[in-house]
Structure 1
Amino acid sequence: MNPTAPESLVFWTTIIFVIFFILLRKFAWKPILGAVKGREESINNALASAEAARKEMQNLTADNERILHEARMERDVLLKEAREMKDKMIADSKHEAQIQGERMIEQAKAAIEAEKNAAMAELKSQVSSLSLDIAEKLLKEELSNKEAQTKLVEKMLGDVKLN
């Protein structure tokens, strides 16, 4: 082997490395660095998008909580109004029932009073009819006797003079 051979090998290896380095730099470094930068940008964009999506999700969650809270409040208000309406309807029904009950009691009292008056009138009529029958029978018996008739007429005439 030649003593200059290792030196020439080193020389040629260096020259080929430099040429290869220049060619790589000229043709490969820019696309590789561009691809790395593009990948870095896409990763940064993905991270930014993820952060934006996380913030949007927080906003949506907050909006959902707010809407849910408003819906619960509205439900509570509607339930309260429904309860108030139910209580009012019950109170109105009780009042109306009480009024109708009082009206029915008054009508019953009036009917009872009318029945009582009718019964009293009937009783009076029967009593007067019975009294007339008794008086007629008494008068017939007293008038059947001539002497009793005279006494009765004289008595009546005496009463008329006094009045």
Structure 2
Amino acid sequence: MDIFNDFSIGLFAMQAFILIVLIFLLGKFAWKPILNAIEGREEGIKDALEAAENAKKEMQNLQADNDRLLKEARAEREAMLKEAREIKDKMISDSKEQAQVEGDKIIKQAQAAIEGEKKAALADIKNQVGSLSVEIAEKVIKEQLSDKDKQLKLVEGLLGDIKLN
């Protein structure tokens, strides 16, 4: 079986023609759709990779924005808490100061009321002492002046005490 002895040009031409037609048909109907599908798949994969990369970048941007917003929110919360503490401390100090002022005012009013009551009590005691003194003096004078001799002696004694100018 020698390949070159059984060689026929007609058979070779026919097989070459069939091969060319087969390649042409495969190229027209099989290779183009397969290549188009492969190119489409490559484009899809490429687009999916780009979309994934964009999504990754977007996620990084969102994460950065979230971190920034979280920091801002924390800073704002801290500022609000600080302001609330300052307001609370101010309200407490104002309340203490007002209570001190009110307490001082009440103490002064109480002291003034006590002083007024004391003066009124002293005036009442003076009036009672004066009344008692007048009653005692009246009783003593009545006792001394009940007798005419004693009255004359008292008048002479009083006249002797008075010096005329």
CA offsets per residue over residues 49-100 of structure 1, 9 Å max, x none?
1100110011001100100110000000000000000000000000000001
CA distance in 2, matches of 1:6, 1:81: 105
Which residue does the alignment assign to 2:73? 71
Which residue does the alignment assign to 2:64? 62
Which residue does the alignment assign to 1:99? 101
Offset at residue 101 of structure 1 (A): 0.4
Q: Aligned Cα RMSD in Å?
A: 2.2
- Percent sequence identity is 58
CA distance in 2, matches of 1:68, 1:44: 35
Which residue does the alignment assign to 1:143? 145
1:129 to 116, 128, 131: 131
Instruction: State the secondary structure of the residue aligned to 1:161.
Output: coil
Offset at residue 160 of structure 1 (A): 2.1
Which residue does the alignment assign to 2:113? 111
CA distance in 1, matches of 2:8, 2:79: 97
1:18 to 17, 20, 26: 20
Query: Structure 1 stretches of 5 or more lacking a match?
Result: none
Offset at residue 34 of structure 1 (A): 1.6
Query: Structure 2 stretches of 5 or more lacking a match?
Result: none
How many residue pairs end up in the alignment?
161
CA distance in 2, matches of 1:162, 1:69: 107
The residue identity in structure 2 corresponding to 1:91 is S
**Is it true that 1:27 corresponds to 2:29 in the alignment?**
yes
Offset at residue 17 of structure 1 (A): 2.8
TM-score, L = length of structure 2 = 0.89
CA distance in 1, matches of 2:152, 2:12: 192
Which residue does the alignment assign to 2:163? 161
CA distance in 2, matches of 1:155, 1:112: 47
CA distance in 1, matches of 2:116, 2:138: 32
Offset at residue 4 of structure 1 (A): 4.8
Deviates more, 1:34-43 or 1:53-62: 34-43
TM-score, L = length of structure 1 = 0.90
CA distance in 1, matches of 2:31, 2:50: 28
